[in-house]
A and B are shown apart, each in its own frame.
Chain A
Amino acid sequence: MEVTDLEKIVSVLKEKYEEDILYAEMLYDFPTISLKKEKIVEIIQYLRDNSETKFEFLTTLCGIHYPELNQIAVMYQLHNMMTGKRVRLKTYLPIELPTVTSLTSVFPGANWMERETYDFFGVIFEGHPNLKRILNVDEMIIFPLRKEYPLEDQVREDKNDAMFGR
């Protein structure tokens, strides 16, 4: 029986990090694994260096706010360019204290992506060399992409919200 991609990655992970796997599934042909947040950077480094998976390319990193669960997820997507396999890893952080270790020691390309996630969601990446806001103004105090904050600027007076159903 042929081993699917998901099973292969899970079996590689189970060799050392069995207790960190929360959930693994294939979403639209994409292996997605949810992990605990404590050892996520070690796990990514292990997947990068392991000769069976060799996920040496970080595609993207973003945050997702789940208001019903009161959690902010951080999603990492890794890619093995030689075989074309990809994997998505998600960790869930509590909204009161969303901290996780920074990935910049493993992939320098995660630097700005983590700054963007901090800017939008307030996720604190420990060990990040320069965790400042990157896209919004530095004086902003809220984390705008969280669901409780509105899209529009509340102080503008020339747009009639009633006409546009806002």
Chain B
Amino acid sequence: MEVNHTIEDHIYQPEEKRYSYLNLGPTHPATHGIFQNVLKMDGEIIVEATSTIGYIHRAFEKLAERRPFYQITPITDRMNYCSSPINNIGWHMTVEKLLGIEIPKRVQYLRVIVMELARIADHIICNAVIGIDTGALTGFVYMFQQREEIYEIYEHICGARLTSNVGRIGGFERDFTPRTWEKIDTFLNNFPTVLKEFESLLSRNRIFMDRTVGCGPITAEKALSYSFTGPNLRAAGVDYDVRVAMPYSSYDDFDFQIPVGKNGDTYDRFMVRQEEMWQSLSIIKQAIAKIPEGPFHANVPEFYLPPKEEVYNNMEALIYHFKIVMGETDVPKGEVYHCVEGGNGELGFYLISDGGRQPFRLHFRRPCFIYYQAFPEMVKGSMLSDAILTMSSMNVIAGELDS
């Protein structure tokens, strides 16, 4: 029998460390979304992490070159699907910037209400899931019931629960009904109690703090160099919020604060999102108190479909309807960039139009894709369960990660 290895191969050589490779994903109960991390482990400590993404690449940017502007809204829904109204309204604002449409004040306030509800919905999922990953399963069940309430409000506004496709270029398709306002009031009355209960479960809980404080930290300089935005950057200490830095849709009429953390670890990210939910509630209350009367859409007959009664009875409305649907309206050429504060940070839309009804190039600046690059660095030297927590506290949503 031939032996082609010596006894020395079997004696443990202390100078040469042997690492094990652990594959985390793409399907894994704890990764929320499908992306793969191959972790090089030295026992329990992670030495290096390599990420592979693209498991749900749906080619949004190429798909957008085939669709007219108003058909791109359902695609933007599916990027950050936990807070899809923000994506929709951001896209509509980009097109309105290209076309130079002036939006009435009432529409802007209504948009603010919808976007802040979406932000609350996004942070509900993120925080509840951080709770699950540390073992606190109860918070998820209670918070998701509140998300059902938000879904019912969406259904009254636009008809859909999750992928909302809300609004039109120039405003909304219909005004909010009295039942919608009732539902929003009920939500504003009930949600603070539930949020307080959830907060009391976790935010000063010794076990939770032991798990999350110091887990996956990142300094402000590193976060800025990796182009972080959103709650992850604010948890690291930089108070950059697109709503305050470049106010859009009348956000400068409202008085709210930006919560900022210190260490950039998981606990800070959790608390920043928690506080942002309180701030969003206050913004919605201010918007409801100050909302002016007025039209629920801008007066742009070339881009906003006229109501069906007019199409059947009125000649101009018929012609506009035909021109919009068949794509005969004149679209100006140009390059425009617009950004909104999404649930995860600065969600940007870079649109190049060449005068046709479809964009020449549409690029989405997806915050999740950009900050997930820093994951290997945030997780180096920590243990496996900390890596799971870091991943879920960064709110990685697979639809936004791969376009």
The short answer to whether A and B are in direct contact, CB under 8 Å, is: yes
Q: A residues touching B (Cβ–Cβ < 8 Å)? A: 27-28, 30, 32, 56-60, 62, 64-65, 75, 77, 81, 84, 86, 88, 107-113, 116, 120, 133-137, 144-145, 151
Q: Are B365 and A59 in contact (CB under 8 A)?
A: yes
- Give the chain A neighbours of B66 by CB distance below 8 A: 151
- Residues from 332 to 357 in B contacting A, C-beta threshold 8 Å: 334-337, 339, 346, 348, 350, 352
Q: B residues touching A (Cβ–Cβ < 8 Å)? A: 53-54, 57, 59, 61-63, 65-66, 97-98, 224-228, 238, 240, 245-246, 334-337, 339, 346, 348, 350, 352, 361, 363, 365, 369-370, 372-374, 402-403
From the candidates A28, A86, A108, A135, name the one contacting B57 in the complex (CB within 8 A): A135
Total A-B contacts with CB atoms under 8 angstroms apart: 90
Q: Are A81 and B240 in contact (CB under 8 A)?
A: yes
Q: Are B53 and A135 in contact (CB under 8 A)?
A: yes
- Give the chain B neighbours of A64 by CB distance below 8 A: 352, 361, 363
Known contacts A58-B227, A62-B363: A151-B59 contact under CB 8 Å: yes
In the bound assembly, the distance between CA atoms of A132 and B59 in angstroms comes to 18
Known contacts A28-B97, A59-B346, A144-B59: A108-B336 contact under CB 8 Å: no
From the candidates B238, B335, B372, name the one contacting A28 in the complex (CB within 8 A): B335
- Give the chain B neighbours of A113 by CB distance below 8 A: 369-370
Q: Are B350 and A107 in contact (CB under 8 A)?
A: no
Chain B's closest residue to A88 (CB) is: B337
Q: Are A145 and B61 in contact (CB under 8 A)?
A: yes
Q: Are A30 and B63 in contact (CB under 8 A)?
A: no
Q: A30-B336, A56-B224, A112-B372 are in contact. List 5 more A-B contacts (CB 8 A).
A: A57-B227, A64-B361, A64-B363, A75-B350, A81-B224
- Give the chain A neighbours of B348 by CB distance below 8 A: 59-60, 77
Can you name 11 A-B pairs with beta carbons within 8 Å?
A28-B335, A28-B336, A30-B335, A32-B335, A57-B224, A58-B227, A62-B363, A107-B227, A110-B227, A116-B369, A135-B57
- Give the chain A neighbours of B352 by CB distance below 8 A: 64
In the bound assembly, the distance between CA atoms of A108 and B228 in angstroms comes to 11
Q: Are A144 and B226 in contact (CB under 8 A)?
A: no
10 nearest interchain CB pairs? Answer: A109-B227, A135-B54, A60-B365, A62-B363, A135-B57, A109-B226, A28-B336, A112-B373, A64-B361, A27-B335
In the bound assembly, the distance between CA atoms of A134 and B245 in angstroms comes to 32
Q: Smallest Cβ distance from A13 to chain B, in angstroms?
A: 20
Known contacts A28-B335, A109-B226: A81-B245 contact under CB 8 Å: yes
In the bound assembly, the distance between CA atoms of A120 and B245 in angstroms comes to 32
In the bound assembly, the distance between CA atoms of A112 and B238 in angstroms comes to 23
From the candidates A27, A65, A110, name the one contacting B336 in the complex (CB within 8 A): A27
Chain B's closest residue to A133 (CB) is: B54
In the bound assembly, the distance between CA atoms of A164 and B350 in angstroms comes to 28
Q: Smallest Cβ distance from B281 to chain A, in angstroms?
A: 27
Q: Smallest Cβ distance from B357 to chain A, in angstroms?
A: 14
From the candidates A30, A86, A111, A133, name the one contacting B373 in the complex (CB within 8 A): A111
Chain B's closest residue to A166 (CB) is: B66
Q: Are A135 and B403 in contact (CB under 8 A)?
A: yes
In the bound assembly, the distance between CA atoms of A62 and B334 in angstroms comes to 17
- Give the chain A neighbours of B98 by CB distance below 8 A: 28
- Give the chain B neighbours of A136 by CB distance below 8 A: 54, 57
Q: Smallest Cβ distance from A145 to chain B, in angstroms?
A: 5
Chain B's closest residue to A90 (CB) is: B335
Chain A's closest residue to B360 (CB) is: A64
- Give the chain A neighbours of B361 by CB distance below 8 A: 64-65
Chain A's closest residue to B227 (CB) is: A109
Q: Are A108 and B226 in contact (CB under 8 A)?
A: yes
Q: Are A62 and B350 in contact (CB under 8 A)?
A: yes
Chain B's closest residue to A152 (CB) is: B66
Chain B's closest residue to A64 (CB) is: B361
- Give the chain A neighbours of B374 by CB distance below 8 A: 109
Known contacts A107-B227, A109-B225, A136-B57: A151-B63 contact under CB 8 Å: yes
Q: Smallest Cβ distance from A25 to chain B, in angstroms?
A: 10
- Give the chain B neighbours of A116 by CB distance below 8 A: 369
Q: Are B53 and A77 in contact (CB under 8 A)?
A: no
- Give the chain A neighbours of B336 by CB distance below 8 A: 27-28, 30
Chain A's closest residue to B66 (CB) is: A151
- Give the chain A neighbours of B240 by CB distance below 8 A: 81
- Give the chain A neighbours of B63 by CB distance below 8 A: 151
